[in-house]
Amino acid sequence: MTAERYNARTIEPKWQRNWDEANVFQAEEDASRPKYYVLEMFPYPSGKIHIGHGRNYVMGDVVARYKRARGFNVLHPMGWDAFGLPAENAAIERKVHPREWTYDNISTMRNQLKLLGLSLDWSREIATCHPDYYARQQELFVDFLANDLVYRRESDVNWDPVDHTVLANEQVIDGRGWRSGAVVEKRKLSQWFFRITTFAEDLLSGLDDLDRWPDKVRLMQRNWIGRSEGLTFSFDLEDEDGNLLDEKLTVYTTRHDTIFGASFCAVSPDHPLAVSRESVNPDLATFRKEFASLGTSEEVIERTEKRGVQLGVYARHPFDRSVRLPVYAANFVLMTYGEGAIFGCPAHDQRDLDFARKYGLPVIPVVMPKDEDAASFEVGNEAYVQKEGENTVLINSDFLNGMSVPEGKDEVASRMEAQGRGERSVNFRLRDWGISRQRYWGCPIPVIHCDDCGVVAVPKADLPVRLPDDATFDKPGNPLEHHPTWKHVACPTCGKPARRETDTMDTFVDSSWYFARFCSPRSDAPVERSSVDYWLPVDQYIGGIEHAILHLLYARFFTRAMQRCGYADIAEPFAGLFTQGMVVHETYQDPKGNWLFPEEITRAEDGSATVTATGEPVKVSPAEKMSKSKRNVVSPEEIVDTYGVDAARWFMLSDTPPERDSEWTQAGIEGAWRLVQRIWRLVNEAVELADTAPDGDPSEDALNVRRAAHKALSKVGEDIERLRFNVAVAHIYELANTIGSAMAKAREGGDGSLAAATREAVELLVQMSAPMVPHIAEESWTLLGHDDMLALSPWPEVDAAMLVEDSMVLPVQVNGKKRDELTISRDADAQEIERAVLELDGVRKALGGAAPRRIIVVPQRIVNVVA
């Protein structure tokens, strides 16, 4: 026994070269074969990858390799989500061109990914910042424009009054510009929007059919789309003295049943009613200014203390002329939802209650649990909101008293509709998607503004609208806007001097159709219809939960929009979705609080740690998401160098269920490395065993090994299908143990059938491990005497006979009463069973020495003895 240690450092690169040279992973369309498209969310080229980034690529790779072995024509591409702010910030801070910065990162990261031995079709690589890609994106934009899926309107942006620039939400930190530190203002700007709301209903109902998506993601999408059924109606308004005004106040509500609990109305500070009263009300003017400095983030608005200013007008209660409701401008009412105006019912809405308590407004409960007493039911500092399925009744509500909530809603809606005062309506939280960005490093929006012709799309023949190379980044604002010549062009329609659009597209646009581009990545058109018809939808999409809402929603919108423009005939881009957990790692700090890389510390037996270079004590904190800023990252180069890729892949797959976070530890990677070595030893030992099939029946030992191997094969296949990689790994461990003992026995005794079975089991072990640890699997396969490549060979057939348990357990009754159990071979015939039954203690006792009258054998189920 002279098996050498498996040397990953030479063997792994060798197989990567072999796969490369044989173009094993290059996908070709082939209508005669079933396709399988597996895709991991493509990376942003931010610098370097750490081992944590690798986990989802490795998972996708296991699926790709497995499906390939299963006979599918597999598409598994890779590309770069390459536009975005960090490149532009690098340009500002480090004076490198965004393109240079981006492509440098791409080449570093491409090399790193290649280390992982992923079965990717690199011939399809795309980078969204490449003119070949964004040219096609501009073409799609032009088509969307023609199909009324894009439009322009005024909308709010975050404005930095010092830098004179628009800020993205993430550039606003605590209400201030990230560079200037100036208090951000809200400004109106003409912006481009994708009409995603056209598909609101369809995007919602489409979720029902996505049964290979996690429920939590579907729920998040549902909530984001936020369909609600309510009532839009208007109040008559009067002035301080009770004179009826011409204006009306239209509100949207989902709780019209609570109309008798209304104690005020509120409009958004941007509502026309508030705007129109600003000049006569200095408090209101100040309030509006403060509101503007909150910026455009809904989240911030939600967090801010609820405040308002009275407008000096009153809403007349629609059903009770004696009640009038003061109207406020309030900072919690959004101009962009419903009508930008509400009636407030403090007893049953927490925001309204906080507001009412602050301004001393009445709190009238109008809904209560059925078993409470209306006379004493009160609301304190917590609004009463009924829970799902709770039995409630309307109170203090005139003609609604005694009704349930739905009955009340129905009654109010009918009366309002009869009065011509309102209509039942459906509202969506979903807004059209604003895609205008005032930045350089993005896809230019391909339109031209002409004083005579208006907005003119750039003719397709003139695409792409290329980014100018000679942009400068030394002053704030949009470099495209500053560029001396770029925006000055002739109008494509009339030829007069005109201006190019200087906005670029939100980078979410780039990632909304890349999966379609991968089907025909070098096409002159955005997509080849025949290619997308063949490859789409993506069968298995894998990525982080952080993209559960926007990215997936935008991609679903884009697919529908492309369908409308004739580019494809599907609505849903991703048939299966998997959201994987992150890789986490402990963090280390020196006494000054500086973060340390894991390789900078030394661990003692007792778990304490010191800085290797200085011997200072290290503060060890619990594992969290690997991130550059905390230095708790491990580089793939280092791991590959020390343990090999296969060990790293194995560890990433084995440690934890794939949807959960997994902690990267030294012990874990070492354990994975030992398994790789173990497989190697088993293979070497198997080679030394005779591989000639022995004559005669296999021994029981041999059968047991075969059963274990085929069961494992069948389970591992199923586990990979269901992406339960850690369970698959466990089955492989188990089989390795069984083989280990069988091998020892086979070497001792002269059981030829056991030797043959063991060898077969080792081959199967290698084949079923191949999707996970492909390098050692290939090397082992060769060692076992095969000259085909494992990456090209089919998944082994399960011998179904080996899955059947060879014995069964039958309950045995005497005169209908269970007396014993019989364990017997599955192929035993009725006579054998009858004979065995009579030998059982329980049966003998029950019969008391007498002979049975009859024995009824229900095959595979039960035996009944009639005494």
Q: Which residues bind ligand ANZ (CB under 6 A)?
A: 226, 228, 252-255, 258, 333-334, 337-338, 340, 342-343, 345, 348-349, 427
- CA dist 399 → 320, 322, 735 (Å): 11, 16, 74
Does residue number 62 form part of the binding site for Zn ion (CB under 5 A)? no
Number of H helices, E strands in the chain: 26, 37
Measured from the CB atom, the residue of 102 and 258 that comes closer to ligand ANZ is 258
Measured from the CB atom, the residue of 226 and 796 that comes closer to ligand ANZ is 226
Query: Can you tell me the distance from the alpha carbon of 773 to that of 646, in angstroms, rounded to the nearest whole number?
Result: 5
Q: Please tell me the chain's helix, strand, coil percentages from 3-state DSSP, rounded to the nearest 5.
A: 40, 20, 40
β-pairing verdict for 447-450 and 454-457: antiparallel
The stretch near Zn ion (CB under 5 A) out of 7-15, 490-498, 619-627, 747-755 is: 490-498
Measured from the CB atom, the residue of 307 and 348 that comes closer to ligand ANZ is 348
Measured from the CB atom, the residue of 235 and 252 that comes closer to ligand ANZ is 252
Measured from the CB atom, the residue of 253 and 531 that comes closer to ligand ANZ is 253
Least CB distance from residue 348 to ligand ANZ, whole Å?
Answer: 3
Interaction partner, residue 453 (Zn ion, ligand ANZ, none; CB < 5-8 Å by kind): Zn ion
Residue type, 745: K
Is-contact 808 862, C-beta < 8 A?
no
Element (H, E) at 624: strand 619-625
Least CB distance from residue 147 to Zn ion, whole Å?
Answer: 22
- The secondary structure of residue 690, as a DSSP letter, is -
Q: Which of 320, 367, 321, 318 is nearest to 343 (CA)?
A: 318
Interaction partner, residue 452 (Zn ion, ligand ANZ, none; CB < 5-8 Å by kind): Zn ion
Least CB distance from residue 490 to Zn ion, whole Å?
Answer: 8
Interaction partner, residue 494 (ligand ANZ, Zn ion, none; CB < 5-8 Å by kind): Zn ion
Least CB distance from residue 108 to ligand ANZ, whole Å?
Answer: 46
Element (H, E) at 669: helix 666-688
Q: Which of 87, 200, 395, 450 binds Zn ion (CB under 5 A)?
A: 450
Is-contact 434 152, C-beta < 8 A?
no
Least CB distance from residue 423 to Zn ion, whole Å?
Answer: 42
Count other C-beta atoms under 10 Å from residue 381's C-beta: 9
Interaction partner, residue 493 (ligand ANZ, Zn ion, none; CB < 5-8 Å by kind): Zn ion
Is cis: bond before 464, omega within 30 of 0? Answer: yes
Measured from the CB atom, the residue of 152 and 351 that comes closer to Zn ion is 152
Interaction partner, residue 112 (ligand ANZ, Zn ion, none; CB < 5-8 Å by kind): none
Least CB distance from residue 334 to ligand ANZ, whole Å?
Answer: 4
Does residue number 447 form part of the binding site for Zn ion (CB under 5 A)? no
Output the 3-class SS for 693-727. Answer: CCCCCCCHHHHHHHHHHHHHHHHHHHHHHCCCHHH
The stretch near Zn ion (CB under 5 A) out of 37-45, 101-109, 445-453, 466-474 is: 445-453
Interaction partner, residue 349 (ligand ANZ, Zn ion, none; CB < 5-8 Å by kind): ligand ANZ
Least CB distance from residue 38 to ligand ANZ, whole Å?
Answer: 37
Count other C-beta atoms under 10 Å from residue 243's C-beta: 8
Structure tokens at 860: 């595979």
Measured from the CB atom, the residue of 497 and 591 that comes closer to Zn ion is 497
Q: How many residues bind Zn ion (CB under 5 A)?
A: 6
Measured from the CB atom, the residue of 430 and 846 that comes closer to ligand ANZ is 430
Least CB distance from residue 209 to Zn ion, whole Å?
Answer: 46
Least CB distance from residue 505 to ligand ANZ, whole Å?
Answer: 28
Interaction partner, residue 338 (ligand ANZ, Zn ion, none; CB < 5-8 Å by kind): ligand ANZ
Environment class of 317 (CB within 10 Å of its CB; exposed 0-12, middle 13-18, buried 19+)? middle
Measured from the CB atom, the residue of 499 and 625 that comes closer to Zn ion is 499
Interaction partner, residue 252 (Zn ion, ligand ANZ, none; CB < 5-8 Å by kind): ligand ANZ
Measured from the CB atom, the residue of 346 and 537 that comes closer to ligand ANZ is 346
Is-contact 662 55, C-beta < 8 A?
yes
Is-contact 416 231, C-beta < 8 A?
yes
**Residues within window 491-530 making contact with Zn ion, judged by CB under 5 A:** 491, 493-494
- The secondary structure of residue 198, as a DSSP letter, is G
Interaction partner, residue 74 (Zn ion, ligand ANZ, none; CB < 5-8 Å by kind): none
Interaction partner, residue 539 (ligand ANZ, Zn ion, none; CB < 5-8 Å by kind): none
The stretch near Zn ion (CB under 5 A) out of 36-44, 192-200, 309-317, 487-495 is: 487-495
Q: Which of 100, 239, 423, 452 binds Zn ion (CB under 5 A)?
A: 452
String of b and e for 715-752 (b: at least 16 CB within 10 Å)?
bbbebbeebbbbbbbbbbeebbebbeebbebbeeeebb
Interaction partner, residue 491 (ligand ANZ, Zn ion, none; CB < 5-8 Å by kind): Zn ion
Alpha helix ranges (H) inside 537-586 = 550-564
Least CB distance from residue 367 to ligand ANZ, whole Å?
Answer: 8
Query: Can you tell me the distance from the alpha carbon of 283 to that of 290, in angstroms, rounded to the nearest whole number?
Result: 11
Structure tokens at 239: 């002035």
Measured from the CB atom, the residue of 394 and 837 that comes closer to ligand ANZ is 394
Residue type, 376: S
Interaction partner, residue 333 (ligand ANZ, Zn ion, none; CB < 5-8 Å by kind): ligand ANZ
Query: Can you tell me the distance from the alpha carbon of 662 to that of 582, in angstroms, rounded to the nearest whole number?
Result: 6
Interaction partner, residue 340 (Zn ion, ligand ANZ, none; CB < 5-8 Å by kind): ligand ANZ
Residue whose tokens read 């450092």: 9
- The secondary structure of residue 396, as a DSSP letter, is S
Does residue number 453 form part of the binding site for Zn ion (CB under 5 A)? yes
Is cis: bond before 537, omega within 30 of 0? Answer: yes
Measured from the CB atom, the residue of 91 and 353 that comes closer to ligand ANZ is 353
Query: Can you tell me the distance from the alpha carbon of 620 to that of 607, in angstroms, rounded to the nearest whole number?
Result: 9
Query: Can you tell me the distance from the alpha carbon of 518 to that of 523, in angstroms, rounded to the nearest whole number?
Result: 10
Interaction partner, residue 852 (ligand ANZ, Zn ion, none; CB < 5-8 Å by kind): none
The number of angstroms, rounded, from the C-alpha of 463 to the middle of its chain's C-alpha atoms is: 33
Query: Can you tell me the distance from the alpha carbon of 798 to that of 531, in angstroms, rounded to the nearest whole number?
Result: 34
**Residues within window 762-801 making contact with Zn ion, judged by CB under 5 A:** none
Least CB distance from residue 250 to ligand ANZ, whole Å?
Answer: 11
Interaction partner, residue 173 (Zn ion, ligand ANZ, none; CB < 5-8 Å by kind): none
What values do phi and psi take at 308, rounded to 5? -160, 170
Is-contact 605 639, C-beta < 8 A?
no
Is-contact 578 659, C-beta < 8 A?
yes
Footprint of Zn ion (CB under 5 A): 450, 452-453, 491, 493-494
